[in-house]
Chain A
Amino acid sequence: MNQRENFFAMIEGKKPEFIPNSMEVYKSCILGTSITDSPLMGGVDSFGVNWVATKEGAMPEPNKFMFEDIADWKAHVHFADLDSLGIEAAAAKELEDFTQDNRNEQVVNVFSGCGLFERMAAFMGFENALCSLVEDPDACREFFEALADFRIACHNRFIDAYQPDVLTYFDDLATANGLFMSPKVYREVIKPSHKRIVDAITSRGVIFSQHTCGKCEEIVGDYVEMGAKIWHSAQSMNDLEGILEKYQGQLIVEGGWDSSGAASYIGATVEELIEEAKRCAKVYGQKGNFILMPTLLNENGNSLIVGDPRLEPMLKAFNEINHI
């Protein structure tokens, strides 16, 4: 099996030949979301929020809020005219060297950053956003519904332009210790709009991948119920073994890398990276629903973006032991 065939065997709940890794299985596409959601290199986004480029990626400028009371969102939030953003040109540029042969080998994965909760926090800061969820849930729901309409329109443009196999939707809802908000608040305030986003993507025949960092295991079942087939950036503070077992045949867990452990420290050796990759393969990979995603930060930033000479020997060693 090539990478694509192996991936679709996993999606269909069949036994793959090998444990894939996210760097080789996907053609990841990021330019569309850089235009509609969060500028990769920093700058003002389509809503007027200023993003600051950091080594680990862009983030909203700290302590600069567009509004502080969610009841005021309509006075401040203006949705861009999608015809004016150049999504199709960005997709064409990103795919210009990606041939049909490449499509037969790899999986096209379009990223969609800054999901419902992250966008609310980008507008009004995390503390204000989190308080709003419990202090004014009705205004939050109204905001999320309007934002979901916009995101669905963006996703439809991405799907038309990129013809992807997978769309990975990013919304960070958790810290390393647990969810930001209770599962009840998530389910009552965010999930209804979140589900509309999932439905709109899967109704186009595209696989929905949910990105949530941190300890979010309490709502992974909600993701599966809504139709997510992949949980992206699944971090090791969750019970990954239990989740892999519980959702075998329904959900691919992509992640595993201990991003707070020794293999993620500055100056970690190639041998330490290889040991971590082998640990992931041994502990998570044998059930056939795991993709290794090495979350490796170095002095220059996220290695997936800025590169790292340690990745190649690590992947080489991983690919020697990843057969199932």
Chain B
Amino acid sequence: MSKILEVKELVEAGKSKKVGAAVQEALDAGSQPAEILAAMVDSMSVVGDKFSAGEIFVPEMLIAAKAMSKGVDVLRPLMAGDNSASLGTCIIGTVAGDLHDIGKNLVTMMIESAGFTMVDLGVDVADEKFVEAIKENENVTLVALSGLLTTTMPSLKSAVETIKSCGLSGFKVMVGGAPVTPEFAAEIGADGYAADAGSAAVKAKELVK
């Protein structure tokens, strides 16, 4: 088995203790860092698809993301300054009035695994904070908003409106959360919607391409 294939399989199986060494072996065998990173992104894409299809569950997705993170740790020093594989920066947060972070955290991991640099603003984020973060960070290509409760759906609407009318451009806005539907996302002016963390990564890539 090629070393890169081994890395892919280890990431998909969530073997975080073994991925670092396998990445190093792939490098030693002559693979380029960007090539190895792309292989791991592919693995996470497979993981996301399996999650969305109900073939695997949250823990398996989480340990795969952890495993990829271990592999990225090995590659990071070698790829400093090389942003060619990056899909840009994604600002993410749970909207004002909502303290739930599980869904948001899962989406963060999956979007990061797809190749974005994540800026996580946490929970109960005021609309203006999203705008400030867009201004403060470089190459923001995506803003992802989460809300779990029907009572915070108005906050999603308000956040989208504030972000869209802030005068800044070059990014897309996507929304998600248990009560959110594609119709609601379209109604409030979001560019995209995802039903779960796996499809969020797919949608994120689609929106910025």
Chain A residues proximal to chain B, CB less than 8 Å = 52, 54-56, 59, 62-63, 126-127, 130-131, 133-135, 175-182, 185, 259-260, 264-266, 297-299
The A-contacting residues of B in range 84-102, CB under 8 angstroms, are: 97, 99-102
Interfacial chain A residues near B103, Cβ < 8 Å:
175
Within 8 A of A (CB), among B166-209: 178-179, 195-196
CA distance A266 to B147 in the complex (A): 14
Chain B residues with CB under 8 Å of chain A are: 14, 54, 56-60, 62-63, 66, 97, 99-103, 105-106, 122-123, 149-151, 153-154, 178-179, 195-196
Interface centre among A127, A179, A264 (most CB of B within 10 A): A127
Chain A proximity of B103: nearest CB distance (Å)? 7
Closest chain B residue to A130 by CB distance?
Answer: B59
Please report the C-alpha to C-alpha distance between residue A178 and residue B198 in the assembled complex, in whole angstroms: 13
- Say yes or no: A131-B151 contact (C-beta < 8 A), given A176-B178, A260-B178: no
Q: A127-B102, A264-B179, A266-B151 are in contact. List 11 more A-B contacts (CB 8 A).
A: A55-B151, A63-B122, A127-B106, A131-B62, A131-B66, A134-B63, A178-B54, A182-B56, A259-B150, A266-B150, A266-B154
Instruction: With CB as the reference atom, state the residue of chain A lying closest to B101.
Output: A62
Say which residue of A62, A177, A259, A297 sits within 8 Å of B123 (CB atoms): A62
B178:A54 contact, CB within 8 angstroms: no
Give chain A residues whose Cβ lies under 8 Å from the Cβ of B63: 131, 134-135
Cβ of B150 and Cβ of A134 under 8 Å apart? no
CA distance A76 to B11 in the complex (A): 31
Distance from B123 Cβ to chain A, minimum over Cβ atoms (Å): 6
Chain B residues near A131: list those with CB within 8 A. Answer: 59, 62-63, 66
Cβ of B66: which chain A residues have Cβ within 8 Å of it? 131
Using Cβ atoms and an 8 Å threshold, which residues of chain A touch B100? 59
List, in ascending order, chain B residues with CB within 8 A of A264's CB.
150, 179
Choose among B97, B100, B122, B178 the residue with the greatest number of A CB atoms under 10 Å from its CB. Answer: B178
Tell me if B58 and A260 are in contact (CB < 8 A). no
| A62 touching B57 in the complex, CB below 8 Å, given contacts A175-B103, A177-B195 | no
Contacts of A185 in B (CB 8 A): 57, 59
Are A54 and B150 closer than 8 Å at their CB atoms?
A: no
Question: Out of A63, A134, A181, A298, which one reaches B101, CB within 8 Å?
Answer: A63
